[in-house]
Amino acid sequence: MEMSSFNLSVRPMHDVVNEAIQYIKGRREHTISSLKTRWGKFNNVCMGGIEPNTIYTISGISGSGKSSFANLISTDLIDLNNNKEIVVLVFSLEMVGFRQIGRTLSNKLNVTTSTLYSSQQDLDYGTLKKVIDVSNELKEYPIYFIDTPGTPQQVDATIENFYQTYIKGTDKYFVIFYDHSLLTKRVGSVIETISELENVFIKHKKKPRTSIIQLSQMNREIEKPERINNPQTHYPMRSDLSSSDAMFQASDYVFVIHRPELLHITEYGPMRLPTQNKIYLHLLKNRDGGKPCILEFENDLAHNNFIEC
């Protein structure tokens, strides 16, 4: 029995313990599971994949590939979890939706977006036919796009209305992608705006089977010469995230995608890791107690892909 105190719900330990038991049993019996992505090591450090009731933050400097990484996850959720009903809502604030689809087609057809868009020579008929065939398949994906930035209050209302319309009363998994946080319409200072946005995400992640993946920029600290010239300070830190405190506290997982070769680093960090055609994914926070780690990928961004090493 729930009791109301000052309009906030009060729940007895008995009810919360029962929820925990049901969750543990569900995980054991595989009636509850995380949503898989194409990357086994990423899944392993994330409790099996994209976990319900969880906020993921993916940050990086401009050009690091964070939007492509999130775009791959959004379609992987549909392609690799056929036994589950999944609905995806994408706030594509930095890039219009059809450009995201261009990246998806690039990846699925293993051709560059330059080729798709006939930048140097006209797309050949055979490839165009494949584009149309794959596009017809993509049209059936339960993915919805929002291209217009809004205030945190507008984001809140939009998510709530979408949830009531498409998700409530079903067993569907609901995954929200937000690209990216700094493009939210201001309601004061940047810090105040991000704080409000994080409160919105914390509210909605508590809905059944709901996950949130937000993208964010890093500040310019990691690009300073003193950081670049000292291998001990190459790796990204919590303070490198823009508006780091509110975002870091709200997130269950915090990842930073980094391409050190963009900063002309030839040997990365104290372990002297290679940088040519390499992308590194740093796990800075895991609320479930996992240790920080670094995942290594081959750079295949020409085809909008990350190849796990």
Q: pLDDT digit of tens for each residue in the chain (309 aa)?
A: 455 556 778 889 999 999 899 888 988 888 788 999 999 999 999 989 999 999 999 999 888 899 999 999 999 999 999 989 999 999 998 877 788 889 999 999 999 999 989 888 898 999 999 999 999 999 999 999 999 999 999 999 999 999 999 999 999 999 999 998 888 999 888 889 999 999 999 999 999 999 999 999 888 889 999 999 999 999 999 888 877 688 899 999 999 999 999 999 999 999 999 999 999 999 999 988 778 899 999 999 999 999 999
Provide the sign of the torsion angle of the four alpha carbons 144, 150, 152, 157, taken in this order. Answer: negative
- Here the tokens at position 2 are 């729930």
Report yes or no: 208 and 22 within 8 Å, Cβ to Cβ.
no
Neighbours of 231 (CB within 10 A): 16
Q: Judging by DSSP bridges, how do beta strands 278-286 and 253-258 pair with one another? A: antiparallel
Q: What is the C-alpha to C-alpha distance for residues 274 and 282, in angstroms, rounded to an integer?
A: 15
Angstrom CA distances, 144 to 65, 130, 157, stand at 21, 23, 16
**pLDDT for 234:** 95
Provide the sign of the torsion angle of the four alpha carbons 258, 264, 270, 275, taken in this order. Answer: positive
Helices (H), the chain: 13-29, 40-45, 66-79, 97-109, 113-116, 125-138, 152-166, 190-205, 225-228, 244-250
- Here the tokens at position 164 are 């009531």
Q: What is the C-alpha to C-alpha distance for residues 120 and 112, in angstroms, rounded to an integer?
A: 12
CA angle 74, 212, 106 (to 5 degrees): 20
DSSP state at residue 140: T
pTM: 0.91
Give the SS3 label for residue 235. coil
**pLDDT for 4:** 52
Report yes or no: 217 and 62 within 8 Å, Cβ to Cβ.
yes
**pLDDT for 120:** 86
- Here the tokens at position 292 are 């920080």
Q: What is the C-alpha to C-alpha distance for residues 294 and 28, in angstroms, rounded to an integer?
A: 28
**pLDDT for 244:** 67
- Here the tokens at position 242 are 């823009």
Report yes or no: 55 and 250 within 8 Å, Cβ to Cβ.
yes
**pLDDT for 112:** 92
**pLDDT for 290:** 75
Q: What is the C-alpha to C-alpha distance for residues 23 and 53, in angstroms, rounded to an integer?
A: 12
- Here the tokens at position 295 are 């995942």
